[in-house]
Structure 1
Amino acid sequence: MGGAHESSGPEPAGTPPGGADFEIRVRGRIGEAFRSAFGELTVVLRPAETVLLGVGLDQAALYGILDRIQALGLELLEVRRVPGTST
């Protein structure tokens, strides 16, 4: 009895181990200085919001991006997992 606990079942709901594609929306149009903080993402400016697109993000990367959004004082509107492209 005892010993290390290993999980051989399915992964819990959330980000798959290989990563997933996410769309993150923040209020307002962020400037160039803020855009450089998200170099690994595609930044799309819309009239009233900025959309950050991340491809193949794992859970740690997603949390890091959300931490940066908070640290920069940006207002998070939505985080949405989007279907990835199959290759």
Structure 2
Amino acid sequence: MTTARSDAPAQIGEMPFEKALEQLEEIVRRLERGDVPLDESVEIYERGEALKRHCEALLKKAEVRIQRITLTPDGRPDGTAPLDVE
């Protein structure tokens, strides 16, 4: 995976979660192998940090949207309420 200058951090913000996570996992694999030159390691590490922040933000937004279904005493769906996130 070569980091292209045209795929700048500004474009990371437009990525869907799955694509950002896939790229982050690839960066981790490359860094763990240890066969990446130092300059490139620093560059892809920085990109990995940006991807991680983006994934965390997307997950946080998803948590806000999740709701739990409320039930009547006899077990029928009655509506929704915010999910208790601790």
TM over 0.5, shorter chain: no
Give TM-score, length-normalised by structure 1: 0.27
Pick 1 or 2: higher relative contact order, CA cutoff 8 A, min separation 6.
1
Give TM-score, length-normalised by structure 2: 0.27
Question: Which protein has the bigger strand share?
Answer: 1
